[in-house]
Amino acid sequence: MQIHAPTSSSTRSVATTAAVMKIYAGKLFDPYTRSLLKNRVISVSPDSGLITDVQAFSPADAARVDFSDAEVAVDLRAATVMPGFVDVHVHLFLHPYSEVNWEDQVTKESLAERTVRATIHAKRTLMAGYTAVRDLGTEGAGDADIALRKCVSGPDPLIPGPRYFTANRAIVTTGSYGPKSQIFLNKEGIDGVTGAEVVDGEVECVKAVRRQVGAGADLIKIYSDYRFRSRMNNAGKAVSNAAIATFNEKEVHALVSTAHALGVKVAAHAAHFHPNLVQDDLLQVSSIEHGYDLVLDGSSDITDETRARMEKLAALLTKSNTKWVPTLSAYHTMDGGAGETWKRASRAFKLALECGVTSIACGGDTGVFAHGDNALEMQLMVRLGADWRAVLSWGTLGGWELVRSMDWEGEKGRARLARVEELAEDARVVGDNEVPFGAVRKGFAADIVATTGNLESDFAGAVDKAAITFVMKGGRVYKRDGKPLA
């Protein structure tokens, strides 16, 4: 890949002033058809940050292109170009538990320190090829995600980072979440710090959702189950580790219906599949996070009954447009890929593939393990038997399908998608979280990455951060030749 070096010392990229930039891709992955298209030239408007055209080119024509000016043309003929990756379950305000455990991060690291760390995590995420993320809770850092979103958004962001969709504080019930004092056993949190917002009853549920959406949250996260009886750990491990339903059915309905009325989606933490997530045979939340015991329910064997439950879940997910985010990476990294939770999580994922579950998005619970290693989730999915084409589609287009606003849903959304090409002609600066992404198509955000690896023969290596040599977000180049520009 040959690109002329920038002439300015500004952190603003070399691609921000050209009327049109053309990217020549030797191969281009299309998440809609799940195929590699050969020899495609992608036209990008740095002003709008959108893709204005995608066409085939002949090698002979490309050979006559002057690639010496990076503001005009980018030579990726020897690379494989893809839509920017999407991680739909991150926590930018956490760092690996192998460094500092969750409770000490929440109660002993200052908000200033955690925010500085989050800015570093944002850059690492972007440089790994992840141009959009969904942050599912600040874990005691309050509203810092809303402020961070401002810093990474817009045509000239303060710091480099992905498109940032925030769930703010997450919502839990009394007694369920941490941190938990060992002295004041009936008090929520430690030193006034709680890992999420505590509510009980329908009225408080409604107020919390309204408050968080009013504060700027892109979505709402609820903990539909948790290790409620964790303080039993000295007397009964099985009891203390069991995931127990938190909110009742009326509370879940209050949370979800209020969020939907305000135009935002709901993500539900759920290790197990609980009846209060189902209403009129439809899942009411947009995503189920984790779910390693969705149908296994602690069983070590795959029975006919288990398989039947998974097949039913597959149908429910498809019918309700709810996605499963299995967060395999968190379980794999926390116990070195050898613990019982990882075994159940991997077993559940394999069974899901066998039973036709396809409504999946890629999110690793990144923060439990290192930011920048987000691709581990896609790598594990392929290792467990998923076709790499499906996984790459889940990790790009599937991400947008999950995080997109409700304005894109239903008949109105289909009509808007039908007119999406018109966006490419609009030179105005579009809001970061207001445009489609996850595919390299006319009218979509110019969120584009490239790898020097071979997706077909070595998928894990090809999506690894070391192989990602080019990163563009919103028409702006942040990485080229494997080197960050900002």
Query: What integer pLDDT is reported at residue 11 of this predicted model?
Result: 35
pLDDT value at 426 more than 80: no
**Mean pLDDT of the region 433-455:** 95
Query: What integer pLDDT is reported at residue 281 of this predicted model?
Result: 52
Per-residue pLDDT tens over the stretch 94-127: 999 999 999 999 999 999 999 999 999 999 999 9
Topology alike, domains 21-84+412-484 and 85-403: no
* Pairing assessment for the beta strands 476-480 and 468-473 based on DSSP bridges: antiparallel
Percent of the chain residues past pLDDT 70, beyond the cut: 92
- Under the banding of pLDDT at 50, 70 and 90, the label for residue 339 is confident
Query: What integer pLDDT is reported at residue 229 of this predicted model?
Result: 74
Neighbours of 240 (CB within 10 A): 15
Any idea where the domains of the chain sit in the sequence?
21-84+412-484, 85-403
Query: What integer pLDDT is reported at residue 57 of this predicted model?
Result: 96
User: What kind of architecture, by CATH, is found in domain 85-403?
Assistant: Alpha-Beta Barrel (3.20)
Whole-number Å distance between alpha carbons of 401 and 391: 14
Tell me the backbone φ, ψ of residue 218, rounded to 5 degrees: -80, -30
- Under the banding of pLDDT at 50, 70 and 90, the label for residue 272 is confident
Strand order in 50-56's β-sheet?
50-56, 35-45, 21-30, 73-83, 448-451, 468-473, 476-480, 483-484
pLDDT value at 422 more than 80: no
pLDDT value at 5 more than 50: no
Nearest to 61 by CA among 21, 24, 18: 24
**Mean pLDDT of the region 448-477:** 97
Per-residue pLDDT tens over the stretch 199-242: 999 999 999 999 999 999 999 999 999 877 777 677 767 777 77
- Under the banding of pLDDT at 50, 70 and 90, the label for residue 297 is low
348 or 120, which is more confident: 120
Query: What integer pLDDT is reported at residue 300 of this predicted model?
Result: 64
pLDDT value at 39 more than 60: yes
pLDDT value at 31 more than 50: yes
Angle in degrees, CA 130, 56, 51, rounded to 5: 40
Q: How far is CA 160 from CA 130, 138, 272, 466, in A?
A: 12, 19, 37, 18
**Mean pLDDT of the region 361-386:** 98
Query: What integer pLDDT is reported at residue 302 of this predicted model?
Result: 80
pLDDT value at 43 more than 60: yes
Query: What integer pLDDT is reported at residue 430 of this predicted model?
Result: 62
Per-residue pLDDT tens over the stretch 142-165: 999 999 999 999 888 999 999 999
Query: What integer pLDDT is reported at residue 126 of this predicted model?
Result: 98
Instruction: Name the CA radius of gyration of the chain, rounded.
Output: 22
**Highest mean pLDDT, choosing among 107-121, 324-338, 431-445:** 107-121
Neighbours of 198 (CB within 10 A): 18
Query: What integer pLDDT is reported at residue 16 of this predicted model?
Result: 38
**Mean pLDDT of the region 269-274:** 83
Q: What CATH number belongs to 21-84+412-484?
A: 2.30.40.10
Query: What integer pLDDT is reported at residue 183 of this predicted model?
Result: 87
Query: What integer pLDDT is reported at residue 123 of this predicted model?
Result: 98
Q: What is the mean pLDDT of the chain?
A: 89
pTM of the model: 0.93
Per-residue pLDDT tens over the stretch 169-201: 999 999 999 998 888 988 888 998 999 999 999
